[in-house]
Amino acid sequence: MAYKVELCTVRVAIIIGISNVLRYKIIITGPVGAGKTTAINSLTDQKALKTDAPVSDLTTSQRKQTTTVALDYGVIKLNNEDVAHVYGTPGQERFDFMWEIISEGAHGLVLLLDNCRNYPFRDLKYYTSHFRDLVDEVPFVIGITRSDIKSEPSIENYQTWLKELNIDADVMMVDARNKEHIHRLVNSLIKQKQAKANSSASVTNADHGGSLPLTASLKNEKSSELEKKESTTPSPAVEAVAPASGSKIMLTEKSMAAVAKINGVTGVSLSNDMGEVIDSTILDENLNEFIAFLSGITPAIQDVANLGEIHRIMLRATDDDNLTVFVEDEHSLGVASLHKTSVPALSQQIEDMLQWI
């Protein structure tokens, strides 16, 4: 039996009316456990709408018992009686279809990153890449949580990484449980938005010799945003993904055992940088040798193809299992998965798991 699901977006525009009350739509995103739900609860004094469900994977369940599957939502009044509608995205990549829906018509973006994760640069790169259109179009600020438990990376580290990614954003150390801290993030966005709106209105009034409603300039912003949407192209049969600095991960027997338990994974193989198999749950020796071969030949591929440092190689077969090889300095991890499994989604799930191992 087929089910038809209709997803509706909530559009919140800045309204200029008799009351002069401004309404803003703010998005809070970030990886699982970064504090998105906690932050919105702090803002709304525990009155936020939540769509939590029990955590299904073992690694995440060791840190939290529930995860957001649709959205968190809260409304707060700002100091000048203006209103901010705050939406929290689900952190797990398998719910990423909600990210674009929730982000429609947003006026600001908050990215929360957990400083206790093993490779926070990967999170920074992943989320700024996925939300790049929004990052470029609306005010953007980053909040670093759990820095009281782990002080490194520092704000300076994040600022350096942002420069590498060609992104300009404020970075603040925050406690998601602290209402004042989260208010500071939201207020930073509002101030940026107001400054941009005032600048836009001034230019428009000068061009037209009179006043023009602010909603007109916002409409133009939205039109340009839609024009920048990229068309979808088919994925290649082989894909090499290169990381930036600060994103290396450790691949060990412990990593291998954890990945082997993920749904859809049919086998895992660990190789060294010499192209030798260290351990494997894959019974097909030819496949093990092929994974080890890819591990050993990757440096040569980097040099010949001029691709930079290769981090992940994904191969998609027509009928057989898919194969993903995670490549690091000393070890490589080959992961075979069922043909019906989404390779990009599985890869993101694995990298998210490795943040805690």
pLDDT band at 10 (very low <50, low <70, confident <90, very high): very low
Span 23-47, mean pLDDT?
85
Q: Give residue 8's pLDDT band: very low, low, confident or very high (50, 70, 90).
A: very low
Higher-scoring residue by pLDDT: 155, 119: 155
Is the pLDDT at 231 greater than 70? The verdict is no
Pick the CATH number of 238-354 from 3.30.565.10, 3.30.450.30, 2.120.10.30, 1.10.940.10: 3.30.450.30
Band the pLDDT of 202: cuts 50, 70, 90.
Answer: low
What's the CA gap between 322 and 340, in Å, rounded? 9
Burial of 166 (0-12, 13-18, 19+ CB in 10 A): exposed
Fold agreement (23-227, 238-354) = no
* Residue pLDDT, tens place only, 242-277: 444 455 677 888 888 989 999 899 999 998 877 788
Percent of residues, the chain, with pLDDT higher than 90: 27
**CB of 146 within 8 A of CB of 116?**
yes
**Token duo for residue 126:** 């992943």
- Give the Cα separation of 147 and 158 in Å (integer): 13
Total residues belonging to the chain: 357
Q: What is the pLDDT of residue 170?
A: 95
Residues 135-159 pLDDT 10s: 999 999 999 999 999 999 999 999 9
258 within 8 A of 353, measured Cβ to Cβ: yes
- Is the model's pLDDT at 2 over the cut of 50? no
First-last CA distance in the chain: 41
- 116 or 216: which carries more pLDDT confidence? 116
CATH class of the domain comprising 23-227: alpha beta
Q: Check: CB of residue 331 under 8 Å from CB of residue 251.
A: yes
Q: What is the mean pLDDT of residues 211-226?
A: 40
Domain ranges of the chain: 23-227, 238-354
The structure's pTM equals 0.57
pLDDT tens by residue, 92-118: 665 666 778 888 889 999 999 999 988
Please answer whether residues 28 and 88 qualify as being in contact, where contact means their C-beta atoms are separated by less than 8 angstroms. yes
Across residues 120-127, what is the average pLDDT? 90
